[in-house]
Amino acid sequence: MRRHGFVHLAVACAAVVALLVNGGFRLGRVDAATNWDTVVTPVAPSYLNLRTGPPFADRNGLATVAPAGLVPTPSTSSDFGDWEARYNYYPATRLLPCDGGTFNSAAGCEGVNPQGHDLSTLIAWQARFGFPPLQPGESLADYRKRNRIAIYYNESELGLGREMGCSTFTDYDNQGKPIATPGLACFVTNYGEAINDRKGALEDAVEGRRVRNTLVISYQPSLPSGYGVNFGAYDGNGLLMNTAALDYMGIRPLPGICMNCHGGTYDASKHLVQGARFLPVNVLEVKYPDDAPYTKAEQNETFRSGHDLIYRTDGTAGGGVLLTPAQREWLRALYGVRDPGAATIPPGSEAGPAGIPSGWAKAGDIYRYVISPYCAGCHNALSETNNPVASWKGFKMRWDSQKATIDNFSMPHAQATLAKFWGAHLTDDGSAGGRAVLVAKDGSAWKSARNFLVSSMEHGPDMNPAYPGPGCTDHAQCGDVTDSGRMCVNGSCQDGCGDEVGCPGSTGRAGLNVQECRRASSGIGLCVSCGRIGQPPCAGGVCNEGTNVNGVCL
């Protein structure tokens, strides 16, 4: 059984093990997130709701809880997604048939979890799919090295620290016989007590503690043809969830939140996703820790091997199963593999900025600074036949419609990505004072990827203004007011809390990610992490982990 990288130790033990192997404690921090909207950037009417609208969620894509005793159906209730995720959708279903009181329970359930595996915890999920455990006496660093673990921060996507892992496994048919085609399972554990907190999120990912949640994806050859790729989610304690939060706006139901980028459609009769794909990490757009052994150079082979594993498994499955043709071409271009029929991404291949797909060769800068970081990852997975960024020629032909999605803020569709698209300068660090990587006609750095794209496409005067507005008008446009820690201040979404806005974890929904609002003289408070190991206690000297020792939870 091949196991490639990114393997995460049992979440239930992560905090304690990390303390032992990393040699000490880190005091609680009060770090401001990296906000691209320090002046004003646009707010979208909704985020991540293209595949999570009614009947699987409300019109904003957010989860609604099905009342006890009510059996919702796709045609009558936005609670249907919650019910499906709790009782019928993989990996929640363990016994056959599906829950007897649910909609359409008799159809397709035998194909969801035919062997009846217990997948109620991340530990159980990892055991099912062949992930090796931490060995006695093995340090976290050695464990990661042995299993080719990758640690990174996905700045252009969700603004979270991440730890990813993949493993091949042998799947079995309904009669318990092994299937020749290998299966593949991957997980990504998210870190960051705040969105866009690069420093803190990377520190937590390196140390393997303060887990936010873990999302999982698997390709199982035993499932019906076209339905092999499906998802799951676990909370910071490693317990199965039916929802996940990946931005400030709130929780969304599984599997819809994943389908927004991975693609696919939900088949309520089979209780499975049809046509979803894996998402290889765009290693050119993520950020890496500064210290060994997780620098960019040190992790190139880790990522290469993981990408090769996905690429080869897709080929073995017949192609177009785990990846679309556009994704396969992108991987070959990324690593400089010129043969379109190549079966592997060879060892030693290095990812480089010259890796631009052939269809974008005539517009390399637009691809490198706009399409690659903000568009290609999801669009390449979402559709094989209607991909608006498949080539420069096709993108030009559709420019009017693409411009409309930019103008109405529906694209980019993720909250952190939209803010960066409009608010980050094209400099080495995204700030106005950073070193320019692409300059406008006046010699200054482009103020945003949006400005560079629109000016390039419309060939008019050099349009490089700061975003003039409108921005937010109320707190709810910035995040879930119950626990986002985000407020609307003078038209800009900023970190803050008070009587109208709560802090992350304050409702208990985020497990151990607890922050308290510490009021400032201006009336706008700051969310401060508390109560976990290495942090100051919460109000009243309370430690949610460890014991209060001289004002630190140890």
Q: Are 308 and 176 in contact (CB under 8 A)?
A: no
Distances (CA, A) of 455 to 308, 434, 435, 443, 534: 37, 21, 21, 15, 48
User: Which residue matches tokens 């009846």?
Assistant: 116
Distance (Å) of CA 528 to CA 4, 316, 393, 535? 37, 49, 49, 10
Q: Which of 68, 98, 97, 96 is nearest to 82 (CA)?
A: 68
Measured CA to CA, the distance from residue 187 to residue 113 in angstroms comes to: 18
Query: How far is residue 273's CA from residue 278's CA, in Å, rounded to a whole number?
Result: 13
Closest CA to 164 of 327, 282, 331: 282
Residue 115 amino acid letter: Q
How far is residue 304's CA from residue 331's CA, in Å, rounded to a whole number? 10
pTM of the model as a whole? 0.88
All structural domains of the chain with their residue ranges = 3-334, 368-458, 472-554
- Tokens encoding 255: 């599997």
Q: What is the DSSP letter of 474?
A: S
Which residues on adjacent β-strands are paired with residue 497?
525
- Burial degree of 485 (CB within 10 A; 0-12, 13-18, 19+): buried
Q: Give dist(CA 514, CA 387) in Å, integer.
A: 41
3-state secondary structure 207-253: HCCCEEEEEEEEECCCCCCCCCEEEEEEECCCEEECEECCCCCCCEE
Residue pair 485/491 in contact (Cβ under 8 Å)? The answer is no
- pLDDT of the chain, 554 residues: tens digit per residue: 444 443 343 333 333 223 222 333 233 333 444 555 555 788 888 888 876 666 667 777 777 666 655 565 655 555 667 777 777 777 655 444 455 555 544 445 666 776 778 888 999 999 999 999 889 999 888 888 888 889 999 988 888 999 999 999 999 887 889 999 999 999 999 998 878 888 889 999 999 988 889 999 999 998 889 999 999 999 888 988 888 888 999 888 888 889 999 999 888 778 889 999 999 999 999 999 999 999 999 999 999 999 999 999 999 999 999 999 999 999 999 999 999 999 999 999 999 887 789 999 999 999 999 999 999 999 999 988 889 999 999 999 999 999 999 999 999 999 989 989 998 999 988 888 899 999 988 888 999 999 999 999 987 666 788 777 778 999 999 999 988 999 998 888 888 999 899 988 765 554 556 788 987 666 789 888 888 888 899 888 988 888 999 999 99
Calpha distance 86→297 (Å, rounded): 42
Strands 552-553 and 548-549: antiparallel
